[in-house]
Amino acid sequence: MNIGPYLLPNEVFLAPMAGITDRPFRTLCKRLGAGYAVSEMITSRPDLQDSLKTTRRADHTGESGVIAVQIAGTDPQMMADAARANIDRGAQIIDINMGCPAKKVCNTWAGSALMQDERLAIDIVAAVVTACEPRGVPVTLKMRTGWCQAHKNAAVLALAAQDAGVQMLAVHGRTREQGYKGQAEYDTIAAVKAAVRIPVVANGDIDSPQKARDVLAATGADAVMIGRAAQGRPWIFREVVHFLDTGTLLAPPLVAEAKQIVLGHLQEHYALYGEWTGVRSARKHVGWAVRALPGGDAFRARMNLIDDAQAQTQAVADFFDVLHQRMDRLPEPLAQQERNDVETTL
């Protein structure tokens, strides 16, 4: 599929996730098969454009593939200015966040809260499209099915966003009220796809190759977007792409390969954040990588006490070396609910 002038290599995308889809993680997922990846959301507030958090999130040094940046805010002019600023920093696609359910975002009426004010939502879309068009930069939109069960307006907003110039829509099959609870539903995504001419991407609870196939069939969507299932399992993208292309399943990675993937990610993570912040923010990635593995719980508890990059790297290497003595390949992945249960202990 295309987004504006950009032809994407496949229809399996990495979803933007705050605090997770930074440049090292996007680069890793693209290398392991993701056809497209969107940055963490970047605030449109002008007073935060030069903050350390924003400059890190806007760092695309060495990033492969199409560079897509998600922006968040509530003021059309600020959002337009943020789009221009991020284009200057290397963005080739601008994505508008109307899907984040976090309270600190919604309390400012940003993210999925914008779905409650359709006029403001479309004013923002129009302002961002107007800012991006002269630069030849496509605008996309990520949203939920609606604010709550009683007010699912995704199809209405999708049609208005298309008319305002949005060139792709990603829809998470939950309302903001649901957060990440319960099961994603796909009927609303199918309704969005039926309402518009532009590409539609289905998101929510896609955690296996078979689920990706089933969601594409149920919704008619042009692509799928994977979020939480990629945490600690970035090779899910090549597994899904292979299955959609061939109908056959790939075996889980070799333990030796998983070790190299995790260690390589750590080095790129430290390079972006520095040692002090990098060691601490890497803990969640390592925790996700080992959560389903023998000895993973005990290792995670020990690792969370390490505050030195070299020691953290060595501990991870030792963990996988011991694991390799027990098995050649990683075990089959946990189901979504099992992963959710484990996440509560992280």
pLDDT tens digits, 311-329: 999 999 999 999 999 999 9
Q: Which of 142-146, 174-178, 278-282 has the highest mean pLDDT?
A: 278-282
What is the predicted pLDDT for the residue at 37? Answer: 97
Of 194, 214, 246, which residue sits at a domain end?
A: 246
The verdict on 75 and 194 lying in the same domain is: yes
Widest CA span of the chain, in angstroms?
Answer: 60
Residues 140 and 48 in one domain: yes
Say whether both 172 and 261 belong to one domain: no
- Count of CB atoms situated within 10 Å of the CB of 334: 17
> Is a pLDDT exceeding 60 seen at residue 105?
no
Model pLDDT, residue 109: 43
Cβ–Cβ under 8 Å, residues 29 and 14: yes
Within 10 angstroms of residue 105's Cβ, the number of other Cβ atoms is 23
Distance CA 107, CA 250 (A): 43
Specify if 179 maps to a domain.
yes
For residue 146, tell me if it sits in a domain. Answer: yes
CA distance 243 to 296: 28
Is there a single domain that holds both residue 226 and residue 307?
A: no
Extract the tokens encoding 177: 């009220």
Catalytic residue among 100, 106, 132, 148: 100
Looking at 202, 228, 246, which one is the last position of a domain?
Answer: 246
Domain count, the chain: 2
In a domain, 330, yes or no: no
**107 has pLDDT over 50:** no
Alpha carbon dihedral 239, 230, 275, 320, in 10-degree steps, equals -50
Residue 88 lies in a domain: yes
Phi and psi, residue 217, nearest 5°: -70, -40
Do 215 and 267 lie in a common domain? no
Identify whether the C-beta of residue 92 lies closer than 8 Å to the C-beta of residue 6: yes
- For residue 49, the enclosing domain spans 2-246
Query: What pLDDT is stored for residue 337 in this prediction?
Result: 45
Q: Are residues 51 and 147 in the same domain?
A: yes
Residue-wise pLDDT tens digits, 170-228: 999 998 777 778 889 999 999 999 999 999 999 999 999 999 999 999 999 999 999 99
Please identify, among 246, 275, 291, the residue that sits at the C-terminal boundary of a domain: 246
Q: What is the pLDDT of residue 343?
A: 43
Q: Is residue 214 part of a domain?
A: yes
pLDDT at 45: 87
Q: Is residue 212 domain-shared with residue 265, that is, in the same domain?
A: no
Taking residues 105-120, report their average pLDDT: 69
Task: Please give the structure tokens belonging to residue 162.
Answer: 């298309």
Judge if 26 and 153 occupy the same domain: yes
Q: Is the pLDDT of residue 100 over 90?
A: no
Q: For residue 175, tell me if it sits in a domain.
A: yes
State in Å, rounded, how far the first CA of the chain is from the last one: 37
Query: On the CB side of 76, how many CA atoms lie within 13 Å of its CA?
Result: 14
Same domain as 197, residue 300: no
Amino acid 335: pLDDT: 53
Catalytic residue status for 100: yes
For residue 340, being part of any structural domain is answered with: no
- For residues 136 and 209, state if they share a domain: yes
207 with 283, same domain: the answer is no
- Residue 159 forms part of a structural domain: yes
How far is 250 from 102, CA to CA, in rounded Å?
35
Residues 86 and 136 placed together within one structural domain of the fold: yes
